[in-house]
Amino acid sequence: MKLLQSPAVRVGLSISIATGLYGVSFGALSVTSGLDFWQTMALSLLLFSGGSQFAFIGVVAGGGSGVAAMGAATLLGMRNGIYGMQINALLQPRGLLRFAAAHVTIDESTATSTGQTDPLEQKRGFWTAGLGIFILWNVFTAVGALAGGALGDPKQWGLDGAAVAAFLGLLWPRLKGREPVAIAVVCALATVLAVPFVPAGVPILVAAVVAAAIGWFSHGRSDEGLEPDVDPYAEHPHTHPQGDAT
Amino acid sequence: MTLWMWLLLSCVLAYGWKLLGYLVPASVLRDPRMSRIAGTMTIGLLASLTIVNTVASGQALVLDARLGALAAAGIALMLRAPFLVVVLAGAGAAAGLRLMGWS
């Protein structure tokens, strides 16, 4: 019970519930993109990184090949390596623990941990968010996959629109300032221009090359776009009216 | 079967990135150019995935109900709605527009 007094554990638990819940949308979108139940579960259990998972099914849904899906998912997973470096410096997990820590190194667990100053709290925050999300994300992925399969025509329910919204929702928190917005616009334009000329899935990789070139030649802040896509320590996270948003 | 293969390979590579952060000496990855590229690529890929899912249909560009989903999601995000509400807004807009006859 003493653990529940820990601020990092509390934040970790609440972000686990919030993030875990949207596993429903991943599960439902995945089966309507053409993956079967076990392929969907394999992504949540083994790949376990929301952005990359949505990228994989997003490419498949657009008719792209398995290689293109893998390319997009893998490029999007690169930032987890940077997070791993940060967590390794903070927590210094040893032995087998380090292999477990690597698996749950994602936006949310990194944000929960790095938002604390006390080393013990950093450790608690990382593991609470990491393991909590892993469990709930997988449970709700299964729920979504089973529900999505029972829906019938996905378009009738606007599930293709849900995918659009999901990607915009993942992108949004990273658009702080002028440079990230410019990068997003340029990459979106490059994508649209590429669509008629290359096979489905490839335009996303074209955009990745454009983005990498911008990163290579620009001199902006080195962590642009690398803030985890959540801020678990926002003081009043959801106080704005949401009633008319649905 | 081949989709399974690419899927499992994606899982291995995703874990590989994560583990790399723990195993490689920090100095190797601390190159500011590397982390800048990781950042710009994350933004670029998400922007690309957003627009592809909005206007692409195979190799054709089409304007349909998904455009309404994009707008609805944008509005929800500006109102600081939580992720799940944003997704529901997108689905609701696309489904609603189709009900009204805009494919």
Nearest to A75 among B15, B41, B55 (CB): B41
What SS3 state is found at B48? helix
Interface of A with B in 47-66 (CB under 8 A): 47-49, 51-52, 54-56, 58-63, 65-66
Nearest-10 crossing angle of helices A23-32, A159-171: 130
Each residue's pLDDT tens digit, A5-57: 888 898 889 889 888 888 998 999 999 999 999 999 999 999 999 989 999 99
pLDDT, residue A222, reads 60
Q: What is the pLDDT of residue B63?
A: 94
Residue A61: list chain B partners with CB under 8 A. Answer: 53
Q: What is the SS3 assignment for A86?
A: helix
The alpha-carbon gap from A4 to the nearest alpha carbon of chain B, in Å, equals: 24
Of B37, B56, B87, the CB nearest to A62: B56
Q: What does the pLDDT profile of chain A (246 residues) look like in tens digits? A: 577 788 889 888 988 988 888 899 899 999 999 999 999 999 999 999 998 999 999 999 988 999 999 999 999 898 899 889 889 988 999 999 999 999 999 988 998 898 888 999 999 999 999 999 999 999 999 999 999 888 777 778 888 898 899 889 989 988 988 999 999 999 999 999 999 998 888 898 899 999 999 999 987 666 666 666 666 676 544 433 333 333
Q: Is the pTM of this model over 0.90?
A: no
Local structure of A88: helix, strand or coil: helix
Question: Residue A44 has what DSSP assignment?
Answer: I
CB contact under 8 A, A215 and B39: yes
The residue in chain A having the minimum alpha-carbon distance to the alpha carbon of residue B94 is A158
Of A180, A212, A226, the CB nearest to B35: A226
Cα angle for residues A218, A55, B41 (degrees, 5° grid): 5
Q: Provide the ipTM.
A: 0.91
Average pLDDT, chain A: 87
A131 touches chain B (CB under 8 A): no
Structural domain boundaries of chain A? 3-162, 175-223
Average pLDDT over residues B26-45: 81
